[in-house]
Structure 1
Amino acid sequence: MTVLLRPQGLTALLMGRFGNALLWLLAALHVAALSILLMTLFTISEAGAAENGDVTCGGKDILVDMQKTDPAAYAALVAEAEKTPNGRGTLWKIEKEGKQPSWLLGTMHLADPRVVAMPKGAKEAFANAQTVIVESDEITDEKKATGSLLAKPELTMFLDGKSMTDMLSKEDVAKLERGLKERGIPLNAVMKMKPWILSSFVALPACELARKAKGAEFLDMKLANDALKQGKHLVGLETVAEQLTAMSELPMTFHVQSLIEMLDMGDKMEDLMATMIDLYLKGEIATITPMMKSIDPTKDKNSDDGYAAFEQRLITDRNHVMADRADHYLDEGGVFMAVGALHLPGNEGVIELLRKKGFTLSPAN
């Protein structure tokens, strides 16, 4: 049963307790490798998810009630979002004089049919493209993705004899075991995995796990596979190892705490995920981060500093990598580029970085 909470109740429950988990949920939207891991490692949880079989997601958009019950807080949230450059729209046209137009799509790494459907104009843009760019082209080849993971086992596994349970209290071990069991994952099968791998299972709602178990492709994977089927040139901007390295460079304490906090959130995570998806479908990308921050209004300066460090490594650094590596292909024209939507907005977002490289970008939706 899904627990639907009023904004005040949700804030009271989350206040000061779930800061790391909220950041990790943002990370899950940024790093396609997490979805790749779910697909690659799904033999662990496929039976449980398939048995449940429910692909109808619960959750409630917390901003709908916030507009009624706390309009001042909602107005402040919207005002913060409006300060962010390029914060609206998920499909952008990329132009350069003398070149065929290209397109930039902000994605969510989900198999939700509403997300996979893409905004108006995206299908046509994809059909006309000669080159398709995604975060990682390894998402089209399970063996390649697995090989990439096995080449650097330190990114996914404890190699020093430790296990996840060594870092937790008995109470938290029991909590982790229950949370994984609900997702069809036995703790003994994954206890040697690093916490960010376990978090990739815990972060997504059961409906999304069920979709993946039934073979549904998340948006980026579908685009990459369709590109290959249609004979288009497929380009990956990052490797799975690079994406996981970015995650692993955040402190271990951050990841362990995030994992436990997400388990504590329970059904409330469905409300957060539902809100993020609704904002994405409306193209209100810049509202996602202030929405997440507003859930913990008591955050202190140290937590702001923590978010800044997180944002630098998981978002800004990778924005530059994406823009630099896409530059050559975009200069040729006829490209359809798809990366996580939260990489688009901001002064150092992919849109502004591409403008600095001489491209003209305008919202197409």
Structure 2
Amino acid sequence: MKRVIAIADRAASVSLKLLVALNVLFFLSFLAALLFAAGKAHAEIPTCTGADMLSALQKNDPATYRKIEAEAAATPNGKGLLWKLEKPGEKPSFLFGTMHMTDPRVTTLPPDAQKAYDAAGTIVIETTDVLDKQKMMVAMLKEPDLMMFTDSTTLASLLSPDDAAAMNAALDARGIPPATVAKMKPWMLSAMMALPACELARQSGGAPVLDVRLAEGAKASGKPVEGLETAESQLRAMASLPLAFHMKGLVDTLKLGDKINDINETMIVLYQRGDTGMFWPLFRAAMPEGTDDPAGYAAFEETMITSRNKVMVEHAEPILARGNVFMAVGALHLPGPEGLVEDFRKAGYTVTPVGL
């Protein structure tokens, strides 16, 4: 079937998984902004561009759109951002799915979520390390080999001449001198390339992503803020995936070029609708035939989502036992048979969507 959405001529879906990883791994948004801030100063925030791929698909290829809708509908807990957590003997708490972005459409909470957040006694985010830049830097420097090549290897040495030229051109376009990232591991550079220039500029200018905004607001109100992971554990998770996987992701992300804007715009639209179960079906349908990487995706999903979900539930339970908690984590952790909603049910909680 001819795809009406041409994301990239040969971009493999592994690149899309790395793009979405920015909203699975909170720590990456900090790194992306840090890399961007190392470049030349931008006097103005670039205008955000990008088209909603879903609207185009619905109009131009309704059959494929219906197929995506059916697959999304079959995803357990694939609709809704706010979920009520109840357990006998505990005051109810709430689980809320976020995007790690500064876009006003993301940082403005839906009314039900705002009400739950305002009434909560404790706020929980993925990691509180992001609230302390010095602590973040310590985590980054503690194990430099997780982020940097510590031998003679450089990024350019692992790329073909054409891909190296494409990387340098993309860096120049974002005001990043190629020499400053020559020794960085590919997943760090992918993190920067996977966000629109407008989002990177806002973050590097100090605008907080949604999770940080929630945590800072809670602290200003005198409420305790707790984390489920450390920046170090998030760093290790991403770095543990094979180098070949990350190199492929970097090359394919570069090939996407400006179409990254369309991907991010579409993710925001889906997020506003609470359609967390539609992310993967849409992107799979948008990819050219035969470019998927099942083994790479299986490793990615196990490392970046499934395993971390179990850790989050384990660390959240003693906090939830105190009751009246508002827990905010990346929305892509919520859906699916091994998502957080199901994992909390397995842990004995009654979990119900709010506002649907």
Tell me how far 1:16 sits from its aligned partner.
4.6
The separation in 1 between residues aligned to 2:30 and 2:159, in whole angstroms, is 27
2:22 match: 28
The separation in 2 between residues aligned to 1:192 and 1:305, in whole angstroms, is 27
Contact 2:72 2:78 in 1 (8 A): yes
Match of 2:351, SS?
strand
| Pairs within 5 Å for 1:312-327 | 312-327=302-317
Match of 2:266, SS?
helix
The separation in 1 between residues aligned to 2:213 and 2:226, in whole angstroms, is 14
2:138 match: 147
TM-score (norm 2): 0.95
1:355 match: 345
The separation in 2 between residues aligned to 1:146 and 1:39, in whole angstroms, is 13
Paired residue for 1:276, among 267, 270, 277?
267
Tell me how far 1:98 sits from its aligned partner.
3.6
Tell me how far 1:183 sits from its aligned partner.
1.2
- Deviation sequence 1:171-205 (CA, Å, 0-9, x none): 22221111011111111111111111111110100
Tell me how far 1:40 sits from its aligned partner.
4.2
- Deviation sequence 1:116-141 (CA, Å, 0-9, x none): 00222222211221211111110100
Contact 2:11 2:255 in 1 (8 A): no
Contact 2:36 2:192 in 1 (8 A): no
TM-score (norm 1): 0.92
**1:310 maps to amino acid:** F
| Pairs within 5 Å for 1:1-365 | 8=3, 10-11=5-6, 14=8, 16-45=10-39, 47-48=40-41, 50-54=42-46, 56-296=47-287, 298-299=289-290, 303-365=293-355
Contact 2:128 2:225 in 1 (8 A): yes
Tell me how far 1:253 sits from its aligned partner.
1.3
Percent identity, please: 44
Contact 2:36 2:176 in 1 (8 A): no
Tell me how far 1:209 sits from its aligned partner.
1.1
The separation in 2 between residues aligned to 1:118 and 1:154, in whole angstroms, is 38
Contact 1:15 1:298 in 2 (8 A): no
**2:29 maps to amino acid:** S
Contact 1:25 1:203 in 2 (8 A): yes
Tell me how far 1:15 sits from its aligned partner.
5.4
**1:70 maps to amino acid:** D
The separation in 1 between residues aligned to 2:36 and 2:128, in whole angstroms, is 19
**2:216 maps to amino acid:** N
- Deviation sequence 1:234-272 (CA, Å, 0-9, x none): 111111121121111211111112112111111111111
Question: Which portions of structure 1, spanning 4 or more consecutive aligned residues, are displaced by more than 6 angstroms?
Answer: none
Contact 1:14 1:295 in 2 (8 A): no
CA RMSD of aligned residues (A): 1.7
Contact 2:15 2:250 in 1 (8 A): yes
The separation in 1 between residues aligned to 2:298 and 2:17, in whole angstroms, is 11
The runs of 5 or more residues in structure 1 that have no matched partner are: 1-6
Tell me how far 1:307 sits from its aligned partner.
1.8
The separation in 2 between residues aligned to 1:354 and 1:360, in whole angstroms, is 8
The separation in 2 between residues aligned to 1:227 and 1:161, in whole angstroms, is 46
**1:123 maps to amino acid:** Q
